[in-house]
Amino acid sequence: MTSRYWPPPGGPPPALVSAARRPPEGGSTLVLDAGDQKVIVVLGEDGGEASLMWTFIQKYLTGGKAIRM
């Protein structure tokens, strides 16, 4: 069961924005709170657009499947 506040209002979590804008060499792994669930995000060292990633996470956060972008 997810929180009644999921998806959260506003944009992506600050940790995702930071990692996507300034990815460390070798990439990074984040564990984000998403309602009543944890989401593991693995980013490559090329970064990306945090807003698009967060939209993707919100759209496909059901079923407990591993999803690759």
Side chain identity at 16, as an amino acid letter?
L
Contact criterion met (CB below 8 Å) for 44 and 35: no
Contact criterion met (CB below 8 Å) for 41 and 29: yes
The pLDDT value recorded for residue 57 is: 79
* pLDDT tens string 1-44: 444 444 555 678 888 888 888 888 888 899 988 767 788 888 88
The pLDDT value recorded for residue 15 is: 87
Q: How far apart are CA 27 and CA 54, in angstroms?
A: 17
**What mean pLDDT do residues 54-59 have?**
79
